[in-house]
Structure 1
Amino acid sequence: MNSIKASMKPIRRSRLRLFVGKRYFIWKRYWLWYTRRGKLAVHRSGDRLPYTIMEHATPLLRSLRNVDMQFQYNKITNLRLAVAKLDGLLIRPGETFSYWRSIGKPSKRKGYVEGMVLHYGGFQAGIGGGLCQLSNLIYWMTLHTPLTVKERHRHSYDVFPDEQRTQPFGSGATCSYNYLDLQLTNNTDSTFQLNLWLDDTHLRGEWRCTEKPLYKYEVYEKEHVISLEPWGGYIRSNQINRRVMTRSGEIAGDEHITDNHALMMYSPLLHETTSSS
């Protein structure tokens, strides 16, 4: 773990290196898409499957320090466009869902606008900004299903304090077209359906299934710690686990999901003082 924390010390890189590096990973992912064929989830249905497995909602607007609220309104436009590509998607046995292959590349031509994009511990304007809220929602709901997470990327920076947070730290999935993807595989014998929509205040979603679920899942964090590193930065770490429970409530298992480590971009002491006032 110490080596992981040491590697998180910020390194200044030139704009050219950042540009070239990003293009390298984008084209590498295109090559993988071309050379590695698999059973992709591509079919959608307007008819809802009979059993609800998990449902969740996150607020569309959140006041963030030093962030123009217009980016929040623009995010809603971007979310509506992406949701229209995913709502009703079926993941049949043996199929894999890819976030970016389903949504496609966000562009002005498709109607996407500038939203807030997290960038190396800060934020900037970017076409399609705000779609991480959607990938976060899908990942969190998926942790409450028997679907297998094939690819997920954690946030490397903890940019904003925990105000209004309702989920454990590190329980989301960051995304960046196309090399930071969220992929889910259905290794069960049942078909799952992803339903998504927006109302006036929230982004909402649910997983539905052809069969009544055998288990329920309780996701929780453990070993949460904030450490001051020798080079002067704060690293926030935890583990995400989940309890697997039968329909009657008996614990059938306790699974380790992932470890999280993020460089904090605000003072944890300042946040504690603010929270107590």
Structure 2
Amino acid sequence: MKKIILSYFPFLYKVRVQQLIWKRRLLNLNPKVRYAYRKEAAAFPFVCKKHKSILRRVLANSDPILQENKIQNLKIALAHVDGIVIHPGETFSFWQLIGKPTKAKGYIEGLMLSHGEVRTGTGGGLCQLANMLFWLSLHSPLEIKERHHHSFDIFPDDRRVIPFGTGTSVFYNYVDLQFYNGTNDSFQFHIRVTEEFLEGAIRSSRELDVQYNIEERHHQFYEKANTWYRKNEIWRIATAKQDPASVKEELMIRNNSEVKYMKSQGGPSRHEENISC
């Protein structure tokens, strides 16, 4: 019903978006929340996790130029994130750092996911940066304060190396990605774009006492009312470095998404995993 109403009155969607933007701006004024803004050029000495993701993927029926546009958008955005330090008691906010992606800032048209469809929009492709930051944070003691998942599994996998459902959705400014540092240590993100990859690392001011690993459990494709869905669980496993028998398991995410791609027969296979934009 909601979609039908918006199709007849599209201006209502824009009005609602502006309401949500201003509501978030008011929430961001909360003096009790200290946001991370300070950057340091020198890298912290201890690496918690490194990762890289492919910049150019094979996406059916999409204009390859949009992938090049995405890379330009990423370069603009990561300049606000590279070197950022999250001190004890601070909150990292994706949109507080990057701000609104506008043409005046150099952002151009890129791919975006919206309501289960692939669309284009100014600043499209920034969710690849958000995905990177989220994956890195999972390998640290940072608390996930806000994260939104894609409710649709849009694309079959293209050289995917991390579990399904570990991406995140971002939309200025009310669909945010936030981490809270409740520890006594400081953490730092380093992100860069190379010819082929988006590369990132999360570093700490002190060598951590535990090693973090991410594990996928209970992965399943299932059909309901002639529609395919995919679900799994993402667990964070913390193992004490001095005592490998000391293990803490934490359920981080429960995913359940509608699958938008299908095999010609029999539904999706285990290897057909999604790609966030």
Residues 93, 189 of structure 1: 8 Å contact kept: yes
**The one of 42, 59, 64 aligned to 2:59:** 64
Alignment of 1:116-131 (within 5 A): 116-131=111-126
The structure in which a higher percent of residues are helix is 1
| Deviation at residue 70 of structure 1 after TM alignment | 0.6
Compute the TM-score of the two structures, normalised by the length of structure 2: 0.90
Pick closer, same or farther for the CA change 1:245–1:169 going to 2, 3 Å: same
Distance in structure 1 (CA, Å) of the matches to 2:92 and 2:112: 23
C-alpha displacement of 1:23: 2.3
Partner of 2:161: 166
Q: Which residue of 2 aligns with 1:94?
A: 89
Which whole-Å CA distance do the structure 1 matches of 2:213 and 2:86 have between them? 23
How big is the alpha-carbon RMSD for the aligned residues of Structure 1 and Structure 2?
2.0
Match of 2:232 in 1: 238
Per the alignment, in what secondary structure is the counterpart of residue 52 of structure 1?
Answer: strand
Candidates 149, 154, 163, aligned match of 1:154: 149
Q: Structure 1: give runs of 5+ residues left out of the alignment.
A: 1-8
How far apart, in 2, do the equivalents of 1:156 and 1:16 lie?
24
Number of aligned positions between the proteins: 266
**Structure 1 length-normalised TM:** 0.90
CA distance in 2, matches of 1:216, 1:104: 33
Matched residue type, 1:194: F
Please tell me the residue identity of whatever aligns with 2:41: G
What's the counterpart of residue 264 of structure 1? 259
SS of structure 1 residue aligned to 2:29 = helix
Note if 1:55 corresponds to 2:45.
no
Aligned: 1:46 with 2:38: no
1:79 aligns with 2:50: no
The farther-off stretch of 162-171 and 110-119 is: 162-171
In 1, distance between residues paired with 2:31 and 2:165?
A: 30
Are the aligned partners of 1:243 and 1:251 in contact in 2 as well (CA < 8 Å)? no
Question: How do residues 182-261 of structure 1 correspond to structure 2 at under 5 angstroms?
Answer: 182-230=177-225, 232-248=226-242, 249-261=244-256
Matched, 1:106 2:75: no
**Structure 1 residues 10, 172: CA separation in 2 closer, same or farther (over 3 Å shift)?**
farther
Give how far 1:256 is off: 0.6
